[in-house]
Structure 1
Amino acid sequence: MSAPAASERPLPPAPSKAKLVISTLAALAVAGIVLVTVVLPAEYDIDPLGTGDALGLVVLSGPPGGEIPAREDGLIAHGSSYRTDTRTFALEPGGFVEYKYRLETGRAMIYSWTASGWVRSEMHSEADGAPAGTAEFFEVVEQTLFRHGSYLAPFPGIHGWYWLNEGTDTVTVTLHAAGFFSGSTEFREDAPAVEREIRETPEPGAFRAEF
């Protein structure tokens, strides 16, 4: 016996009014839950059940007036871009070099330097107005091949390193630094100090809007 044509097949019974009412009420209940637990806390800062705070949604709405509270720690804004600097120093046996960056109070830098042989390393700073020949020391290492770190200037002045080659072979020291310094000074034995200006990265005005 052949199957009846599609047009001859009986249609499924329509849902009863009771089922329609139950489905409608269930949909309204779900919408109400979403409204109370998600929409109101996120959009209107209304959190009657505390779910918005637990889910981190209250912050999306912000306080009245459109202002969002912000922490005052952890961020230091500057009016100019950071700068980068890379230097290589060749130290003959018994030779030394001092290299320091100009940093104002609260200005930071990160650094990484390596040496091809053992060197004595001193990280110290000379404060503006301090007596000649005085310095504040932050790290002294008798023999090392590298140092990596960050530094926050506690006072205005020049801040950096002294490297001494106490070996019998020439040593090369390579320094990479980035930060909010404005220049550098290099000191060597029996030679005048060399001051350098370090340009901003990117160039000044590169991202400043023109009106």
Structure 2
Amino acid sequence: MYNTEFPSKADLPTTDRLIRSTVIAGVSALAILVTVVLPSEYGIDPTGFGRLTGLTTMGQIKMQLAEEASAEEALSAAVASGTAIPSPAPAPAVETQQLAARVDALESLILELQTAQPTATVPTEVVPAPAELAAAPATIEAPALVAAPLWRDEVTFTLTPMEGTEYKLVMQAGAVATYEFVVDGGVINFDAHGEGEGQSLTYEEGRGVMGDSGQMIPPVSGTHGWFFRNRGSEDVVVTLRTGGDYQELRKLI
């Protein structure tokens, strides 16, 4: 049933040999622990063999990385739980006392400098006597400038439903006229156009507006203005104001 034969008693190791082998194995394991495992894993090098082989440096790096990982885990746990993060340790009492002494010395120096400065004499203002006040010439205020009127002409007219009218300015080429019209009671349509020197010009058109304002600068001399029409169903009141460089305002229709 067995492929091999049992060893004889003479072939078996003796008790002394087993003890000797066990002692040798233990000593070898201890030597490996002290010279290899401790330096490479924990940075502990009691024999100095780890520094020669570089195992101590590797172990120190491992321990530093482990400490940093532990600190990061503690910080993450503190942030997640909302607990306060511990503040750095306060400065030693000796440094605080030295700082306070320096502050006291600086304050004393500032007080000495302020005491040494001469006090400036503030000149008093001499109030003139009533006679002097009477003799002083009165200040004549210049008359306020009255602003020139913005508009030269202003007309107000009423337009019944579907009624139209036309007002034109007699102007020279390149002259600048300003205008403004406002509608009360509704909206109107208007057509800004001009005629002169054999030309017909269209400046602007508006539909359903409550008013408008701007400038008119004709390229040719002639009459330039607006045709107004009330397309609504109720009467409207229109006020037209004009100013600037023109000869006159005419009603054509």
Shorter-normalised TM-score: what interval?
0.3 to 0.5
Say which structure is richer in helix: 2
> Larger Cα Rg: Structure 1 or Structure 2?
2
> Which structure would you say has the larger RCO, counting Cα contacts within 8 Å and 6 or more residues apart?
1
Say which structure is richer in strand: 1
What TM-score results when the alignment is normalised by the length of structure 2? 0.39
What TM-score results when the alignment is normalised by the length of structure 1? 0.46
